[in-house]
Structure 1
Amino acid sequence: MRLLTNIKEMKAWSERVRREGARIGFVPTMGYFHEGHLALMRRAKELADKVVVSIFVNPIQFGPGEDFKTYPRDLERDARMAEEVGVDVLFFPTAEEMYPPSFQTFVEVTELSKPLCGAKRPGHFRGVATVVLKLFNIVSPHLAVFGLKDYQQYLVIKQMVRDLNLEVEIVGHPIVREEDGLAMSSRNTYLSPAERQSARCLYQALCLAQKRIKEGVQEVAVLKEELERFILAHPFTKIDYVEFCDPETLAPVARVEQETLLALAVFVGRARLIDNTILKP
C-alpha cells in the first residue's frame, strides 16, 4: 500500500492507473477506522481493480463549538488497518493544500441540505459537497462507496453527481452495527461505559417504530412522541431530532403509508450520534 500526501502525486497515480485500464474505487473518510469503514473498503475492492481511501478531517464541514479539534486521529493505526484490507493507496492530504489561503469556491446542494443535519449544523453539507467534489477531481474514481448511516450525506452526494454530470458511480453500503445494534461510528469513542449502554436506545427506537407500524400505528405525531419518550427515558440523552421523511426528497411526512425514512440525531453525553432506517408499513 502506498501512502500519498500530495495532490499532484495522487493525480499522477490515478492517471497512470486509468491509462492501464483499471477501475478505481474510492472511499472518502475522516479516519479513525472501525469495522464500518473496513466494510466500505471491502465493497470497493469487490467492485474495482484498485482502491483509494482518503483520510481528511475536513475543517469546513465543522461548525463553531463542534469537535473538529478533538475528532479522533491515528494515522499509523489507520494505515495498518487499510493495508490489511488490501487498499492500494491511502491519501492523506493537508488542509493547507486542500484549502490554500486564496480558496473561495464552494459547492452547495440547496434543497437536500436543508432538513435534518443540515438544519442543525448550518454549512455542514456545503463543506461536505465541496470536499467530496475536490476529492473526486483529485482521485478520479470510477465509483465511490458511502455508508448509509450518513443517509442525508449519501443523497446530497448523489444529487451533486447528477447535477454536475460527474462520471462517478455512487454506491451506498448498509449500516454496520455492533452486536447490540449501535451503529458503528468514530464518535462512539467519546462514550463512557455508562453512556455506551444508553446509546443502544437509538437502534432500539428504530426497532420500536417498525414494531408500532406493524401494529397499525401510522400517525407520525403519535410515533414521534412515543420514540422521544423512549429515548429520553435513558440517562445522558438529549434529542437533536427525530424525523420521518420521504426517503428520496427528505420532505416530512405526516403518516407512514409507504416506505419512510426515520432519522435520529441524539446527544449521548457529548457524543452526537445519528442513525436511521427505512420503515416499511
Structure 2
Amino acid sequence: MAVVVALGAFLMTLFGGWVAQRVIDRRHLVLGLAGGLMLGVVGLDLLPEALSAAGDDLFGVPEALLLFVGGFLFAHAVERLLAVRRAAHGAADWGAEPGGPAKGKERVPQVGLTAAAAMVGHSLMDGIALGAAFQVGGGMGATVALAVITHDFADGFNTYTITSLYGNDRRKALGMLVADALAPLVGAASTLLFTLPEELLGGYLGFFGGVLLYLAAAEILPEAHHDHPALSTLLCTVAGVGFIWCVVGISGG
C-alpha cells in the first residue's frame, strides 16, 4: 500500500515542478495550505503516535520528544550548510534589482545542484516515513501520506526552481525534478524488506515529525507569506490544520 501511495507523491512532485514553470501569483495559497496540513499532521497525529510507541524517558524527557527536537535541529543544520534558504530567496532579491548583475554572479550552478540533491535525499526519507507509518496502521499511513504528498508538491516546485535559479539549464533542472519524484517510491519500497520494531518506529516518527515541522515553519509558511502576506493565505493554513483534525477524528486517532 505504501508503494501505491508513493506513486501519488511521485505525480505530485512532477506536478509541483510543472507549476514552477507556469504559476507565479497563486502559489502562496497552495503553500499556505501545504504548511497547515503539515503542521496538523505533526501536532495532531505524528507526535502523539511517536510518544505512544516510544514511551521511554531519557534523563526525564521522552525519547520521542528528544528525537523530535533532534529532527528539527537536523533539518535546520542541513539548510544552513547547503544554503537552501539563500537559494530559495535569491531569485526575488535579484529580480527586484534589474541592474544587479553582481548578485547574479554569486550563483554557482553546483550550489543549485547540491541544494536540489539535498531535497532528493529528504524525499527518500519521506518515502521511508510513509512505509513506516503504514507499518503502524492504516490511519497513521493515511495521514502521513497526506502530509508527504502535499509536501512533495512544494518539493517539486522548489527543486526545479532552485536548480534553474543558479544557472543550470532546463535539462538538469528536469533531471533533478525526476530524481526527486522517484525518491519517495524508492524509500517506500525499501520498507517492504524490513519491519521496524515499535520503539524504533516511534523514535523515527518523532525525528521525522521534527523535520516536517521545521520545513513547515521555517520554509513553506514563510515562503507562502513572502510576497503575499494576505489573510487568504492564513485562512488556507488554518483550513489545512482543521482538515487534519477532521481526518484524525474520523480515523479514530
Structure with bigger gyration radius: 1
- Normalising by structure 1, we get a TM-score of 0.23
Q: Which has the higher contact order (CA 8 A, sep 6+)?
A: 2
More helix by share: 2
More strand by share: 1
